[in-house]
Structures are given as C-alpha cells and as structure tokens.
Amino acid sequence: MSQLGSPASQPASPGIDPAATDDPPSSHDLPALVARLRAGFATGRTRPLAWRLAQLESLGRLLVEREAEFVAALGHDLGKPPFETWAAELRVVGREIDEIRRQLRRWARPERQKVPWILRPGSAHVVREPLGVVLVIAPWNFPVQLLLAPLAAAIAAGNAVVCKPSEVSSATSATLARLLPMYLDQDAFAVVEGGVPETTALLEQRWDHIMFTGNGTVGRIVAAAAAKHLTPVTLELGGKSPAIVDRDANVKLAASRIAFSKFLNSGQTCVAADHVYVHEDVEEKLHAALRKQIVSRYGKQPARSEHFGRVVNTGHTERIKGLLDAGGFDVAHGGEVDVDDRYVAPTVLRGVSADADVMGEEIFGPVLPVLTFTDIAEPIAAINAGDKPLALYLFTSSDDTVQRVLDGTSSGGVCVNDAISHLLVPGLPFGGVGESGHGAYHGRAGFETFSHRRSVLRRPSRSIDPPLLNPPYSRWKNALLRRVF
C-alpha cells in the first residue's frame, strides 16, 4: 500500500493506528459470520419498526458522540478539514437518518390495491419486507458517508448487514470497525476490514443484496460474483460528470458552485464537475471567476491552507500528475503537484483537446478542464458520445435550454444552476444509469432498494367459487366471460 502519512500542514492526531483492530481481517471466518447474521435475521429481531428506529437512533448518536474520532481518522487519511468532515460525512448521514426516522412508519405501511370484481370479496396489498442479509461495500473518498448512508437505508428496511469499508482509507476503516459494534446490534451487523482478498472472499458468499460504490472495473467484478447466486446489486460507479455554462448564465454563480463541487475533498468526489463546457463568449469571464473563487477559498498558497485536503495516497497523486504531464492543454491556474505531500493544487485547464488524457478518464482530483462551444448542441453531442454520467450540471437562464439539455441527454441526476446539491434533497433518488451504475438510494429510494415489494391477496375462507370461472366452458359461459372479464 502506498504511504498514507498526513500532509505536512495537517499532522495526524496522536493515537491513530490504522492497523489497530481487535480481530485482523484475515482471522474472520466469513461463512460463519454470514451464518451468524442469518441466524439473527431468522429470529425476526430486525423486523419490528421499534427495533429499526432504535438502531437508527443509535447510529445517529454515533455520528454526534464520536465526531472527534472521525475528524482525526479522516484528517489522517485524506487531510480532510474538520468542518468538511462534519458537513460532508457526518451531518449528511445524520440528515438522512433524521428523514428516515420521520417517514419510516409511513413508508412501511401496506399499500392497498384495487381488487377486480371477479375476485371479490377480497383485499390486496403491497407489503414491504426485508431482503435478508445484505453486503455494503464502501469506497475510500467519503468513507463514512458512503458506508453509513446505505447502512441506514438497509436498517430501515429491516435487514442484517455486513459493512466492508475501504482499506485505502485505513484509519477511517479501523475507526468504523471499532465503533459500529459499540452502537449497533451485533447479532444483526458486522464490519469486515481488509483489502482485495477479504473483499473477494466476501463476494463468494451468498447475499440477499449487494451495494457497491466505486469504479466500473470493480463494479463488473461485483456484478459477476453476484450473478453466481442471482443476487441483486446496486452499483454506484461515478464517471465524467460534465458542467455546461451557457452564454446567458450567471457566470459568477456558476464559478462558485462548480468550484465547490470540484475542489471539495480535493476533487475526490464521484459527482464532482469533472470538466466544463463553456460558451466561447463567456470563457474569459469564467476563467477569471474561477481564479477568484480558488484564491478566496484557499488563498494564494493552497498547499498551506487548512481548508484544502490531500489526495488519498501517493499512487493516486502520481496518476493525477501523469494526466497533467501528458499535456494537451494550457494551465490557466494552479498545476503544482507534490507527490510526497499528496498535494495537487486546485487547477484549471484551458484549450483542452478532446483527445487529451485528462479527458479520457474520470479525473478524481482537483483538476478542472474547460472546453468551449458555440452552440448548445455541441456539449449535448459530446455528452452523448461518451458514457452516461452520474451527474450533469447546467448553468443558464433559459428554460428552453434547460428543456433541450434534459430532453437531449441522459444522466443519473441533474442540477440546474447548481452542482452536487441534488444529493441533499431527501425525495430525490441518487444513482447512476448505464456505465455510471444502476439502482438508487437516499430517502425512500434507499428503503425501497433494500425491501422486497411483496404482493398479498386475501380472500375469505368461506367465499363461494363462482361457477362462471370453472370448466366446462359452455357457449353461454364463453360469451358472458368475454363480455365482462
């Protein structure tokens, strides 16, 4: 594993030992672990709404009571500023839990359906039941949020859960492995740490659902492993999410919101604005606004800013450096890289060639390519020529342009005159489409993802079977049935 030392400007807090666990991952007997959770689930303990609400309340307390420990761990792993940890990791999940707890009784209520006259007397309902034992595999970039938000949804639906945090954010993984058993029912929940061997072993088990957040390469491995057991999967895979700034946009606003999405977590965000298409008439204005945003947020020396994090390890830093070294653009702002410090400056590129290496893959770092267009049809065509993105951001004052982009493209989600904020709307499902994933969660969508919609028809035991429906089908029966059925 690449060195995970904290950036010089943000030394690791004392007491953080990424390798410290009571049970090393290699010691887990995974079949026995899964069997234990299945036995716990079989007792019915996870089904009562009171139990689910109590577990959710406890998970919410964890986020508040252990904030300092998460701040220390994420500072170690990602150089993440304390406020960013609170806002983008802890509070985001806390808000999700609050919404679930407010709505769960309503979501779980059986839904009555109309019964055809030929089956009356009778009643029909759709009831939600838990799937069973599910696996949640989280990434390293938002290692708390992207593990605990799906976990909350799975709890709401009444499942037992195995949580697999990423080994790349090792201090946070160790913190989660230590704390979650202190707050949640150990007969229904478990944390498995480790790397590729442990994840591979987990995928060999039979699950009732798997949720994976990460890249498409690993997503395919997860889907293939799940297919062996016909296990349903939810895949959140990211991709190159574009922003479009049209000539009638509020450029100052666009620069502010694009900068927030791109430089949050040092660009290591699956819904960050990966690149920008800007109308040539406002290109210079956008570059000037972006420069002002960077300086106002991080100062003239972002490497010394306590508000700007680090790339997760030297390997990923080298990868981003390679994209910059490959060229195919001019550097409009930033461009500095310090591999040993895991630092990549907030960087804006201009004159970007469509075939530049930086346009060939999701950047996942604080580097923002800016390309120009003369007609909105050009970015629409460029977006459609690639994989369907996880998110699309459009800045314009024209309702006609909004509709044209919505009708002409496909993406997991869309923000108009904003970026990444759609994640904070409880009623909006969050998920991808095509290469950016399938399935969704957040709010009710998460509850539905981890639930089975079971159809139930009930008819009284003393009802009479209408002879009209039974053979022999005489001519008059046939004629009557065709008329009324």
CATH number at residue 167: 3.40.605.10
Residue 403 has pLDDT above 60, yes or no: yes
Residues 120 and 162 in one domain: yes
- Quick one: pLDDT band at residue 462, thresholds 50, 70, 90? confident
Is 458 part of a structural domain of the chain? no
- Give the separation between CA 417 and CA 429, rounded to whole angstroms: 19
Whole-number pLDDT of residue 45: 97
**Rounded mean pLDDT, 216-233:** 97
Whole-number pLDDT of residue 28: 54
**Rounded mean pLDDT, 13-36:** 59
Residues 203 and 259 in one domain: no
Q: Are strands 437-438 and 233-236 parallel, antiparallel or unpaired?
A: antiparallel
Quick: pLDDT tens for 30-41.
Answer: 999 999 999 999
Which is higher by pLDDT, 470 or 53?
53
Quick: pLDDT tens for 28-81.
Answer: 589 999 999 999 999 999 999 999 999 999 999 999 999 999 999 999 999 999
With vertex at residue 279, the alpha carbon angle to CA 273 and CA 281, rounded to the nearest 5 degrees, is: 135
- Quick one: pLDDT band at residue 483, thresholds 50, 70, 90? confident
> Total structural domains in the chain?
2
Q: How far is residue 210 from each of residues 152, 341, 412, 450, measured CA to CA in Å?
A: 14, 35, 19, 9
Residues 85 and 182 in one domain: yes
Is 424 part of a structural domain of the chain? yes
Is 263 part of a structural domain of the chain? yes
Residues 267 and 211 in one domain: no
Residues 175 and 274 in one domain: no
**Contacts (Cβ under 8 Å, ≥6 apart) of 235:** 212, 219, 222, 223, 432, 437, 438, 439
Residues 64 and 120 in one domain: yes
pTM above 0.75, yes or no: yes
Whole-number pLDDT of residue 215: 94
Residue 11 has pLDDT above 90, yes or no: no
Which is higher by pLDDT, 22 or 405?
405
Last residue of a domain, one of 430, 462, 478: 430
Residues 222 and 281 in one domain: no
Residues 219 and 262 in one domain: no
**Helix 67-78 × helix 170-183 angle, to 10°:** 160
Domain extent for 343: 242-430
| Catalytic residue set | 236, 270
